[in-house]
A and B are shown apart, each in its own frame.
Chain A
Amino acid sequence: MAADLVRMVGIAKSYGPVTALAGVDFAVYENEIVGLLGDNGAGKSTLIKILSGTVSATSGEIYMRGKKVLIRNTTDAINLGIETIHQDSALVTQLSIARNLFLGREPLIGPPIFNRMDQRTMNEVAGTLLKRIGITKDIPATTPVSYLSGGERQAVSIARALHFDSDLIVLDEPTNNLGVEETQGVLRFMRGARDSGHSLIFIAHNIHHVFQVVDRIVVLRRGKVVADDVDPKSTTIEAVERIITGVPATG
């Protein structure tokens, strides 16, 4: 088996009386796409929010390449090379594509005291990136994100992860509300990212989408891992659905 990129051990999280995660062990290996499945409220988003530093775990440990790490906030996660595209609100729609791509990591030009963004470089890099991820329509990088379609927005989020060369790209329901064409675009980006050496976590409710790209499936049910090494090539969608719901096969 390939080497660990990230390993989460004994992760628990409760929101007051609600237990979202009850001691989860979860690993992502180098150079793979993991599908993280589970019904609504299973704890998928909570788990990856802990990984991206937006939520802190009640207990548990995280290792990267075998070394224990502390993820106290989003900056820690980003510095460790973890890029997350959240289910809710990934982009600032009022800002341009370029400004979104570089948000939080804007390149500066001139004396530091002026705090001046290098907008020319930002726009140039953004333009090249948009082409690279397959947006062939001529959309200037200065266009506000609110002008983009859902698929184009996902593409911008993914472009950001690619550009900053994050080791781990986490996508929480990136294909939600997308059309057939746009979904295929997102899946294509994911394969491309893996083939160029990244690892990805892919959360989705549409198991068909998951089956098309992932190397391995992990299933959460009510805050617990109920399967963590499902190979999509040697199982059926129906079998995975049964693991998700916990209902044994009938007949």
Chain B
Amino acid sequence: MNLANRPGSLLVRRLTSTPEFLPFTLVVVLVVVFASLTPNFLSRGNISNLLAFTPELGMIALGMTVLMTSGEFDLSVGSVFGFTPVLMWTLFNEGATSLEVALLISLAVAVLIGFVNGTFVTRLKIPSFLVTLGMMMTIRGTALYTTSGFPQRTWRAESWLMDLVAGSFYIGEFRLYASIFWFLGFALVLGYILTQSKIGNWIQAAGGNPVSARARGVKVGLTKTWLFILTAFMAAYAGITSSIRVAAANPNSGTGYELEVIAMVVIGGTALGGGRGTIIGTVLGVFMLRMMRNGIVLVGVPGLAYNIFIGVTILTMMALQSYLARRHPSGAG
């Protein structure tokens, strides 16, 4: 293919061929549309609110982006999101350990879950769909069974840890939550890993062409196993953050998150089949879907109609992405 036919159109081509182009445009469009429909959308309270709950799904989406770039995905994230805070608060409420130790234990359990997922997928060669579906039911079942379905209380606790993970503070009259900084921090680190590091090259190669990557000495199985661990860790950390913010650990929470997170990642421009992933795109995808949920309610559309909008958005985005992909084979490096 001819790389530089008309120099004038080159910049436009470059722009439209980056995977982040579409989600970025749509975020801008959404902001404009919602802001013009309801002044509330850009109000201090609403922005603060948006920034409070966006990082929670966002952190799972960051882990999922890297995992999907390597060609796998994880359906158990929603159940890990629900289970780990239940475990942490149960340990604490029963007086078994301090909150700090309870946090470490539940994160360690998440790491173990990720390790089991990764081992089943890479060693036993079972598709990640089946492995993580089984894991999802196992973990959700455990959360429901051990609590008999009742939420765990969190309000007896006072700890610096809670402030560090999900505390809030005021800048003037603007309420800001610590979780947004964690989200941005994780995004920076994972973005760096994916684009700048040697491991990032291995992740993309593992997803793009595992046979050829292995032939180059890339440890494909090991790389993927680490990414399953990372994804489970992020889901657990997000769940704990959420439990602190809403002051309850509900064994049902996170139900359905796995699909919403995958939607965010794919809308952001990461390839469903692996080989190509973008953290910036995911951040945009996360904001896009969260803003839609928020804006739709503000505009007065019944909340139950939310899924219709998400569904239509996903279909539209996919159609546009595939149109752009056909114009620019395989996107830009």
Roughly how many angstroms separate A52 CA and B205 CA in the complex, as a whole number?
19
Binds A, one of B36-44, B145-153, B171-179, B209-217: B209-217
B331 CB-CB contact with A under 8 Å: yes
A181 CB-CB contact with B under 8 Å: no
B16 CB-CB contact with A under 8 Å: no
Binds B, one of A101-109, A202-210, A239-247: A101-109
Instruction: Given A94-B276, A114-B197, A119-B196, check contact A143 B3 (CB 8 Å).
Output: yes
Flag B205-230 by CB within 8 Å of A: 1 or 0 each: 10111011111111000000000000
Q: B215 near A144 (CB under 8 angstroms)?
A: no
A115 CB-CB contact with B under 8 Å: yes
Q: Which of A89, A90, A94 has the most CB of B within 10 A?
A: A94
Contact check: which of B193, B214, B330 meets A94 at CB < 8 Å? Answer: B330
B201 CB-CB contact with A under 8 Å: yes
Total chain B interface residues with beta-carbon distance under 8 A: 31
Q: Which of B212, B214, B331 has the most CB of A within 10 A?
A: B212
A78 CB-CB contact with B under 8 Å: yes
Total chain A interface residues with beta-carbon distance under 8 A: 36
B124 CB-CB contact with A under 8 Å: no
Roughly how many angstroms separate A117 CA and B271 CA in the complex, as a whole number?
23
Q: B216 near A74 (CB under 8 angstroms)?
A: yes
Q: B209 near A104 (CB under 8 angstroms)?
A: no
B326 CB-CB contact with A under 8 Å: no
Q: Contacts of B204 on A, CB cut-off 8 Å?
A: 92, 94-95, 99
Q: B216 near A103 (CB under 8 angstroms)?
A: yes
Roughly how many angstroms separate A205 CA and B197 CA in the complex, as a whole number?
40
- Give residues of chain B (56-101) contacting chain A, Cβ–Cβ below 8 Å: none
Q: Contacts of A139 on B, CB cut-off 8 Å?
A: 3
A6 CB-CB contact with B under 8 Å: no
Q: A142 near B333 (CB under 8 angstroms)?
A: yes
Instruction: Given A142-B333, A146-B329, check contact A92 B197 (CB 8 Å).
Output: no
B275 CB-CB contact with A under 8 Å: yes
Give min CB distance, A123 to chain B, whole Å.
10
Roughly how many angstroms separate A117 CA and B1 CA in the complex, as a whole number?
28
Q: Contacts of A183 on B, CB cut-off 8 Å?
A: none
Instruction: Given A96-B333, A147-B1, check contact A86 B217 (CB 8 Å).
Output: no
Contact check: which of A92, A115, A116 meets B208 at CB < 8 Å? Answer: A92
Q: Which residue in chain A gives the minimum CB-CB distance to B205?
A: A92
Q: Which residue in chain B gives the minimum CB-CB distance to A75?
A: B217
- Give residues of chain A (139-156) contacting chain B, Cβ–Cβ below 8 Å: 139-140, 142-144, 146-147
Q: Contacts of A142 on B, CB cut-off 8 Å?
A: 333
B320 CB-CB contact with A under 8 Å: no
Q: Please list the residues of chain A having a beta carbon within 8 angstroms of any beta carbon in chain B.
A: 52, 54, 73-75, 78, 84, 86, 88-96, 99, 102-106, 108, 114-117, 119, 139-140, 142-144, 146-147
Can you show 19 pairs from A to B with CB atoms below 8 A apart?
A: A52-B215, A54-B215, A74-B215, A74-B217, A84-B215, A86-B212, A86-B215, A90-B212, A91-B209, A91-B212, A92-B204, A95-B205, A104-B202, A106-B198, A116-B196, A117-B196, A117-B201, A146-B329, A147-B1
